[in-house]
Amino acid sequence: MSSRALTALTLVAAVQLAGCSAFRSYDNELKETNQHMTSGNIVGALATLEKNNTSADKDLLYYFEKGELLRASGDLDGSQTAWRSADKVIYTWEESVKLDTDKYLAQFGSFLVNDKVRRYEGYDYEKVMLTTQMALNLLARNDFDGARTEIKKTHEREAVIANLRDKEYLKSEQEAQEKGVKTQFKDLQGYPVASLDAPEVVGLKNSYQSAFSHYLSGFVYEALGEKGLAAPGYRKAVELRPNTPLLEDALKKLDGDASKSGESEVLLVIQSGFAPARDSVRIPLPLPISGNLVITPLSFPVIRADTSTASFNQVTLDGKAVNLTLLNSTTDMSRRALRDDMPGIILRTTVRAITRGVAQKQLNDVNPLAGLAVGIASAVTEGADTRTWRTLPDRTLVARIRLPQGQHLVSLPNTLGSSQVQFKVDKPYQVVSVRALGNQVFADGQMAQVIPTGVPQAIATSATAK
């Protein structure tokens, strides 16, 4: 093949790669989806999601996002259907890991394949939060037995992840030593190191165990009368988020007096904001290529926190202020996941860049135009993986209150449009879940309903929190 033909062929390949779905800008796609959601237009958000996922072979992220959008619309059946599809994908991943962990790690650790063209398998915290969100859907219908099944699955999933990551991080350290890669994320000049070194990130035990998930498991087991299982859930929540009175009280009161007749234990769950975005930044690094140190710009992922929703830690229940306790921050979990993954990302990115640089120099010596074309193709395909579950709630805050059975009213802060949610308590234990985005508020539509602004509601004055 002539050098001119080779050059043309390489350039065509580069253009095709640029248009390939594997190189889509997932962050840009989800910006549009989330904008619809924050304006209350769930129909528009779903339409945008479908527009950007026309392939018959839907990926894990599609089911993640669709489940959360349908949940916000009140379609709990549709939400569970989408999330069950996601759960099947993750189950397949779990089985492959358990069947042959070393083989899985060898495939994932390939140095020649860019992270963003790999099949998306979800971050660890996403896998765990999936079953937590599915449990909340079931609890919206007072299906504590169904929620118990999802919670059990969460615990089993955590065990698989823990075993895998221990082996993965050890393997990454050994390979970095073998290949002489000593760069750490703290060495990346211009990288936002402080975001990964923040106390709330470093203080997490890992990136996937959530104090909320374990507290919720304790509450579900307690509601089912399984106090022997409730205690470990509460203890794990305390371990993950120590010095939190809400969690410590759950353990202390587990063997206390039951609710009086006509009263219920109510867990109010307020989820706000979106999970953070992943962006790609280029950092110049000196790399040894063909005996020379060459300054090469390499791409690394960074976490961009969502700012669509103002933070708050208090709501009004039946006219009285109720403090909320933060039990989960997806932003912190996402940053911890990236912090833990960075050694492997730096290793793969560095080795890939050196290998590509050597090959390009050899090609330049033979055919400069072909070398230029390969360089263009490399620039098109190189970049950090920006895929992540964006519609997942960021902050999860809770309050546990003993309430008389009947109708109750929760009012959210002025920063959220002073929205009100009415819910009915008629079971000994209940979970009421609300989602806040911008100045929009969504409820499950089963047990809790958002009251349109300006519509007067008569709530019994005797229905006060105890």
Give a yes or no: residue 279 inside a domain: no
Predicted confidence at residue 27, as pLDDT, reads 82
Q: What is the pLDDT of residues 36-58, one digit of tens each?
A: 999 999 999 999 999 999 988 89
Percent of the chain with pLDDT over 90: 58
206-210, 355-359, 379-383: range with highest mean pLDDT: 206-210
Q: What is the pLDDT of residues 330-346, one digit of tens each?
A: 999 999 999 999 998 88
Predicted confidence at residue 151, as pLDDT, reads 94
Predicted confidence at residue 445, as pLDDT, reads 72
Give a yes or no: residue 95 inside a domain: yes
Residue 438 backbone class (left: φ over 0; alpha: ψ -120 to 50; beta: rest)? left
All residues at 6 or more sequence positions from 393 whose CB lies less than 8 Å from its CB, including other chains: 68, 271, 272, 273, 274, 275, 330, 435
Give a yes or no: residue 53 inside a domain: yes
Q: Is 90 exceeded by the pLDDT of residue 290?
A: no
Cβ pair 23, 381 in contact under 8 A:
yes
Mean pLDDT of 263-282: 95
pTM above 0.75, yes or no: yes
Across the beta sheet with 393-404, the strand order is: 325-329, 393-404, 263-274, 429-437, 440-443
CA angle 207, 38, 317 (to 5 degrees): 80
Q: What is the pLDDT of residues 71-113, one digit of tens each?
A: 999 999 999 999 999 999 999 999 988 887 776 666 655 555 6
CATH number at residue 48: 1.25.40.10
Give a yes or no: residue 457 inside a domain: no
Cβ pair 417, 441 in contact under 8 A:
yes
Give me the amino acid identity at 169: Y
Predicted confidence at residue 341, as pLDDT, reads 92
Q: Is 70 exceeded by the pLDDT of residue 320?
A: yes
**Total domains, the chain:** 1
pLDDT-derived band at 456, boundaries 50, 70, 90:
very low
All residues at 6 or more sequence positions from 71 whose CB lies less than 8 Å from its CB, including other chains: 79, 133, 137, 435, 442, 444
Predicted confidence at residue 453, as pLDDT, reads 64
Q: Is 70 exceeded by the pLDDT of residue 9?
A: no
Q: Is 60 exceeded by the pLDDT of residue 463?
A: no
Token pair for 307: 């700012």
Q: Is 50 exceeded by the pLDDT of residue 460?
A: no
What span, in angstroms and rounded, lies between the C-alpha atoms of 142 and 148?
11
Q: State the average pLDDT for the chain.
A: 85
**Lowest-confidence pick of 205-219, 384-398, 411-425:** 411-425
Q: What is the pLDDT of residues 415-425, one digit of tens each?
A: 676 689 999 99
Q: What is the pLDDT of residues 241-264, one digit of tens each?
A: 999 999 999 999 998 766 677 899
**Residue 117 is part of which domain span?**
3-256+327-400
pLDDT-derived band at 265, boundaries 50, 70, 90:
very high
Instruction: Pick 298 or 273 by higher pLDDT.
Output: 273
Query: CA of 182: how far to CAs of 175, 345, 353, in Å?
Result: 11, 13, 15
pLDDT-derived band at 24, boundaries 50, 70, 90:
low
Give a yes or no: residue 343 inside a domain: yes
286-295, 339-348, 353-362: range with highest mean pLDDT: 339-348
Q: At 459, phi and psi to the nearest 5?
A: -115, 130
Taking the CA of residue 158 as centre, how many other CA atoms within 13 Å lie in the half-sphere pointing to its CB? 20
CA 157 from centre of chain: 15
Mean pLDDT of 357-370: 65
Give a yes or no: residue 435 inside a domain: no
Token pair for 333: 């979990």
Give a yes or no: residue 462 inside a domain: no
Give a yes or no: residue 123 inside a domain: yes
